[in-house]
Structure 1
């Protein structure tokens, strides 16, 4: 990848002109760009025929939080570098939450010359009417929001909506499903909606939340708090988040290992009979060698394990 552009570059996007010039921040910026490129490539987020002449259109969803700001900045820079042949349109859904600062995102988009759409839909009243007090609004709110974003994407001629979920979001969802849902599942970096006409993409799937937070702070994004609805305290997801943060603090690097594990499953060593034919598994005649016990871990895996658990 070419060196990070300086703010003095004439054609640099307005959003990137005030980026810190420190070596540390440039390394952080490069890492986020590299990880997004890898996720886009690994999960085939771009159609094979995509080119500068034939570009798909993505609806980039912005809530005003650190993750979605970072997502937009990374995609804009990749596009500017000629590495992402996609037309981008930023979208904010104003859900009429009390105290929502409706002027912040429109000003941000206009100041930075970003193509955008602002849609106001009062889902807050619907959610508060349907959900009893002191219960979390998140599930119903999320479903309503996703339905509206699908409609906007169709109206704008987009093939995908793009979300700012990162590595920790994916791990938190995995453990939420494990602890409370009784299944092994998480947020996929790429999926198709139930109607089969739109993709949902998460290009920050490989990116650490701590990197995103440092990037957003360095870029001085005008962050909008995520607790306006008053339904965030005591969520099970927050408990899982604290658990993961504690593990990472105790053994730095553990979350990275766990995230890599989500891409290296062995159905023959789990309990899902729909993924592996345990019923017809039998010894081969004459003792012909077949895949059975877990393979010996490679030297790198053993070294990482020793490092992670040395203090335990």
Structure 2
């Protein structure tokens, strides 16, 4: 598949690759919140929380290194806007220097508002690319009647973005998946695939050419929704193609929401559990060599075991 056409933008008039966004302009035009009074205080508090969580995820999983060129995949949804906000904040405050390049894939879906993202990104004064690739026509051609486009569309989109990342010399590809996405994916794979598989915070692509990072890995979707509203992000709907996502994910989302309402913190605990796996207490022989498990000490003769028990309970220091 070709790259399609690409429009490159930046704040460098000499044609070179801009190294950093215009921080002053960004700060002036995009405060942590645009509201006033109480709303501003709440937004600033939420912003601090999200920046802390993003920083922790980046640190815990070594997502960003000095000299990285990070391609932030921007779809126009709340998650990807928040991803870009967090990366730009980290860029200004992190102890290492790295570049952020925003990339949007225009898949030529009907009624796609092509002006929205360029207008928004121009206000940030940063390097960005709009990649035009008509994957929509391909998806329509290969998807059967009554089937959803999402699976094929996602696969084609990933291929185009991976190729473009290599083209611009990106060392990392940043995606906007959050904790709720990871938990939902865990249950989808259990219910429909019969396997314990979720969504990792950092991933090496199958061909070994790309490192994918998810800086929002510790964030809850409800906080991202609030943040995006505070920031007044120009949201582009995800169903422009007319196809609706498979009902499985919304069903899992409802199930988790109901469980969280009954027992607050349940989703947080599930997300935490994915980071505290005990392979020896599962049944995957590829992770644990059950065949070779043997006793590490010889059993005591029965009489000696009895004598040891009596001796223990007769010990003068034994609690009564």
TM-score range normalised by the length of the shorter chain:
0.7 to 0.9
Match of 2:171 among 154, 159, 165: 159
Say which one has the larger Rg.
2
Match of 1:46 among 64, 69, 72: 64
Q: Distance in 1 between matches of 2:184 and 2:247?
A: 12
Residue in 1 that maps onto 2:193: 181
Match of 2:105 among 78, 93, 96: 93
Unmatched 5+ stretches in structure 2: 1-22, 301-320
Shift of 1:235: 2.2
Deviations 1:232-255 (A, max 9, x none): 255211111111111122222111
Match of 1:200 among 212, 218, 233: 212
Match of 2:45 among 27, 37, 51: 27
Deviations 1:111-149 (A, max 9, x none): 221210001101011011001122111111111101110
Match of 1:246 among 219, 241, 258: 258
Residue in 1 that maps onto 2:315: none
Give the structure-1-normalised TM-score: 0.83
Q: Distance in 2 between matches of 1:13 and 1:158?
A: 25
Distance 1:13 1:279, change over 3 A: same
Shift of 1:18: 6.3
Q: Distance in 2 between matches of 1:82 and 1:173?
A: 30
Q: Distance in 1 between matches of 2:178 and 2:68?
A: 23
Distance 1:201 1:15, change over 3 A: farther
Match of 2:116 among 101, 104, 121: 104
User: Quick check: 1:16 aligned with 2:34?
Assistant: no
Pairwise CA RMSD of aligned residues? 1.8
Aligned residues, how many?
A: 274
Are 1:13 and 1:77, in contact at CA under 8 Å, matched by a contact in 2?
A: no
User: Quick check: 1:128 aligned with 2:140?
Assistant: yes
